[in-house]
Structures are given as C-alpha cells and as structure tokens.
Structure 1
Amino acid sequence: MNKAYVLLLWLGLGSTLAPAQTRIIRTDQAPTPVGPYSQAVEANGFLFVAGQVGLNPATGKLVEGGIEQEVPQIMKNIEAILKAAGTDLTHIVNTTIFMKDLKQFGTVNELYSRYFSQNYPARTTVGAAELPAGGAIEIAVVAALPRRKGKK
C-alpha cells in the first residue's frame, strides 16, 4: 500500500478525499452540446459552464455579425444555463475567453463590461486559431453557487 495513502488514513484525512457530488445542468434555453459534454456541471458548490459560442438555441446556427452579435448571444446562453442551475451572472467567479482575433480585445472588453458592473470575475483571454461552429469568440465560466436553504 502507498505510504502517503496510509499516512492520510492514519491522520484521519482519508474521508476528505471523497468524490465530488455532481449534478448535470441542462436547459433548452441554451444551445444543445455539439459533442459528448454537458452544458454545465455542478460540483461541490461550483458551477462549471462549458464554453459557449454565439449559437442561437432556437436555430442551432451561429448568429451573424461577428463579435458584436456573438457576445450578447453567448451571454444570453450563459444566463440561461446559470438560471437553470438556480443562479445568475453575479455569482460568476472566473471566465475564460477564447478569441480568433485578439485585435478585437477592446471591443470584447466593452461588450463584456455590460454584464459585470463591479467585483469583476477573474478572467483569462486566449487567442485561438479556430473555434466551434466558426465562432469568433467562445466564453466559459465558473460560478460559486449560493447556498441552498437546508444545506450547510
């Protein structure tokens, strides 16, 4: 048996290594995943939302107009997923943005700032050669879920 594992058990820490309690989040108000993944997964008080591109959930097609139209659609999709999980944009703690053209960074900042007024989430922005569905931008988020009544 591994010495480190035995030490953890001896220290009584083995029980803290339990598997995450997870719940899959689905809503028809956001695009259906185009591969083997979930729209979002709740795990141990956090919600991990899969990267969203500017797909209209009603048509399954990318909205036209580039970043200026894709960002509002992406945020609408993210809001729908957050709502299905019982939360909203104010609980987002981290965003990851993938962009095909980093020269549009200023435009993205202006659009993004419409959704967050203070206490901005941590953020990473990455240049990407290609994105799903031909999108110009993709955004993934992590939200800290509010405690539900009756839970500690």
Structure 2
Amino acid sequence: MSNHDQDIGAVLFFGNPMEVIPRRLIASTTLTHEEKVCWMAVKVLSEHNRVRDLETCPQLAQMLYNDPERLEPLRDVLLKLRLGRWLTRCGESVSGGTLYGVHDEVASIEEVIRLDPDYPALVAAAAEHDREDIRQLAQATLPLLLPSPVADAG
C-alpha cells in the first residue's frame, strides 16, 4: 500500500441517489454558477469515494478550472458551499483523510453542527473574510447559530 493510499478520506452523499443533480441546487438563487458546478464535481468525486481533502484536491481544481494548481479559488468556493450548508466537513477517516458530506438540499443548522461541531467557529472566522460575498454569507448565518429566544423561555 502506498503512502497516498493510507490517507484517503471520503465524500458521502446525503440525499436521494436517484436525483443526479438536485432541482434545489439548480434553482438556488444564492449559489453562483461556479459554486453549482463545484457541488456537481464534488458529487462526481463522491461516487469514487477516494479523496484526501477537497481543499487540496488537484482533481477537483482540474474539473472546475482546468488547472490542478488553482487551489485558492477552489478553497473559497468550498468555503461558500460549507457556509451555505450544501457541503459539510464530517471529521476524519481512520486513515487520516477528511470525511465530507455533500447534501442534496441545504442542511439544517442542527444537522450541520451535529456532523461538524466546528461549524460555528468556521462561520465566525468567515465573518472576517477578505471576500465580501463570503463575509456577508457568514454574517447572515451567525444569527442562525444563536439559541432561539423561545427555547430559552421554556
């Protein structure tokens, strides 16, 4: 077994396997075309189920930009998909690779936090991001992380 084979992660698909491209994704008014194509590419990779880390994945950069070296814009697109709850980091595999979940619709805050306890910290950090679109998405998400006043009253 090569070193590369020892650090394989996985991309898990959460949704209806019969729907190749979810209608909600295509109809989304909050995602750019680039983000929609990236989601589709991640889904393709999920079928192969052998990815170490999407943020450093040359295959994904090649699919999205025709350039395996364009990792910085790829990271920003993946960050937006994570902030928008279309993609979730679910932890690490036994072999040390990262496990991701790709959703066929926007996941609930509760589900994302259950899968990724670091999601609130990700949102807080992204609220200070250099890119305005990422910063705005994170700032719009921050209030959703706060406990409901109705829940506190009970």
Task: Indicate whether the TM-score tops 0.5.
Answer: no
| TM-score of the aligned structures, taking structure 1 as reference length | 0.28
Structure (1/2) with the larger helix percentage? 2
| TM-score of the aligned structures, taking structure 2 as reference length | 0.28
